[in-house]
Structure 1
Amino acid sequence: MNNLKIIKPDWVVPSNVYALQTVRNFNLKKKSNHTSKKELSNRYGLKFLNSNEIILNQMHSNISIELPSSERNADAAYTTKKKVICSVRTADCMPLLMTDEEGSFVSAMHAGWRGLSSGIIENTVKKINFKGEPIIWIGPHISQESFEVGGEVKDIFLKNDPTTEVAFDHGANGKYFLSMRRAAQIKLQKLGIKNISFMKDFCTYSNPEQFFSYRRDASSERMTSLIWIE
């Protein structure tokens, strides 16, 4: 793919399901209207991506939409249609890709702490008519060791789901360290989803050579997580 380094999720899915995770050298900005010549070149590295990827206007919400759709204000998308690419962009937030054992649908979710606490995972899962056991892959995001949050963040999580308390470790001065991966795992397991794969060396903050990190760099660059049915 034009020597671009792209990660293929390490999971077992049906042969009709394709998924990719971009890294630093696949330079996509947060907003689609900031596309540079380099970015366009990178996009065409994935051939039909430029015309088939539907870019969401991510808002850190719990809104999930079915594609194809004219709606763009959402933080998760799912589809049962072939060659319709569900994608999300992240640079510390957690991307989740989902399908099932039958390959009957695909979904991409953008879960920062706001979306994670307010139910982006639950809202997406509950909208989908599974034909087989669901399968999840969690991509690169900021690790617990690097993600210090205030007590108000913990309060929001516990108000919506008290069982997520185990996703927090105490820090200094009333701060906490949040494991978004643990919080997501708790929510997925409560929904009956057991087949969950995690990316190794996933921390965006502590891997500057491989990943963008908004908390580290305060830049607009993002990685993209994509999934589609062939």
Structure 2
Amino acid sequence: MAAQPADWLRPDWPAPAHVHAVCTTRAGGVSAAPWDSFNLGRYAGDDPAAVRANWATLQAVLSAEGPVRPVYLRQVHGTVLQPLLADTPDGIEADACTTAQAGVACVAMAADCLPVLFTDRAGTRVAAAHAGWRGLAAGVLESALESFQPPALAGQAQAAMKKEAIEAADVIAWLGPCIGPTAFEVGPEVREAFCVQDGAAAAHFQPRAGGKYLADLAGLARQRLRAAGVERLYGNDSSPAWCTVGNPSRFFSYRRDNPRFGASGRMAACIWLAG
């Protein structure tokens, strides 16, 4: 089995022992510049053989304590949640995924967007979501959370069931690296997309010259998760160490690298249940 590169991130959170999670960085792969070296993006312009080798390494690292298959989704900045089974094919269009089956890894890929991993304190299920600003504003995190709600019982009011399920699910979430609040310049339409839903979102936008704003993507995600009833939040706290743009030796960043090189690699946040 391949050894996990020391540079990769292991979530520091109170997940059950059988819930495993990891987030890759640039380290440990075979891709040449500007995708150096652990690029997992299949449509980023990299040599397909190098990408396949990197995915094989990822699977080997995840399988250190038993076979694990990471499932690749084609992310489209939407809100679709894809349930995963052992035979779910790669390449389905979705930006969130979930499974209760051991040995199947939910994967959220990113290179400035925010990957979010989920489980509950009993470890009955895991989920992952890819949250750029469009998906975040449209509700991709809420889509992932819906997977933790049990089926409605016959004769029980849906609204009451939803409240009970959110409390019973006891979800915990880990936020991975993303573009930070000093690097993410956006237009007024982005601010409006969030503030029209919740005026408190304005606190995560700082005005700039020319009508632009600096947006705190991770802060917006934390706000939405708390509004959905999730209080146990870990990982990205919007500090500089989590910023993909500001840490070029560790993280890929589309906004930083694409203008210079015409390409950027992709990282992957993965979560799975051990068998």
Query: Under a length normalisation based on structure 2, what TM-score does the superposition of the two structures give?
Result: 0.77
Matching residue's letter, 2:216: S
Tell me, which stretches of 5 or more residues in structure 1 are unaligned?
none
Query: 2: CA distance between counterparts of 1:215 and 1:103?
Result: 35
Shift of 1:67: 1.2
Instruction: Give 2:186's aligned amino acid.
Output: V
Within 1, Cα distance between the matches of 2:45 and 2:84? 21
Rounded Cα–Cα distance in structure 1 between residues aligned with 2:174 and 2:114: 10
Structure 1 counterpart of 2:77, one-letter code: H
- Give 1:132 shift: 4.3
Question: Residue deviations 1:182-215, cap 9 Å, x none?
Answer: 1111111111111100246110000000000000
1:60 aligns with 2:104: no
SS of 1:7's partner is coil
Map of 1:32-181 to 2, 5 A cutoff?
36-45=48-57, 46-47=59-60, 52-68=69-85, 69=88, 72-129=92-149, 132-181=169-218
Shift of 1:181: 1.1
Between Structure 1 and Structure 2, the one with more strand by share is 1
Partner of 2:268: 224
Task: Evaluate the alpha carbon distance shift between residue 3 and residue 54 of structure 1 in structure 2; reply closer, same or farther with a 3 A threshold.
Answer: closer
Deviates more, 1:51-60 or 1:141-150: 51-60
What CA distance in whole angstroms lies between the structure 1 residues aligned with 2:51 and 2:20?
22
Measure how far apart 1:2 and its partner are: 4.2
Q: CA deviation at 1:10?
A: 1.4
Structure 1 residue identity aligned to 2:10 = K
Contact 2:42 2:48 (8 Å CA) reproduced: no
Identity %: 34
CA apart distance, 1:123: 1.8
Q: Is the aligned partner of 1:207 residue 2:209?
A: no
Residue type of the alignment partner of 1:38:
A
* SS of residue in 2 equivalent to 1:27: coil
User: How many angstroms does 1:33 deviate by?
Assistant: 9.5
Q: CA shift at 1:126, angstroms?
A: 2.2
For residue 33 of structure 2, what is the aligned residue in structure 1? none
Question: Within 5 A, what are the aligned runs for 1:8-47?
Answer: 8-25=10-27, 26-31=38-43, 36-45=48-57, 46-47=59-60
Aligned-CA RMSD value? 2.2
CA distance in structure 2 between the aligned counterparts of 1:123 and 1:3, rounded to whole angstroms: 30
Asked whether the equivalents of residues 78 and 108 of structure 1 are also in contact (C-alpha less than 8 Å), the reply is yes
Please state whether the residue corresponding to 1:206 is helix, strand or coil: coil
**Whole-Å separation in 1 of the counterparts to 2:232 and 2:68:** 31
Moved more, 131-140 or 203-212: 131-140
Q: Is the 8 A contact 2:108 2:130 kept in 1?
A: yes
Counterpart Cα distance in 1 of 2:213 and 2:244: 19
Structure 1 residue 83: Cα displacement: 0.7
| TM-score, length basis structure 1 | 0.91
Compute the displacement of 1:54 (Å).
1.1
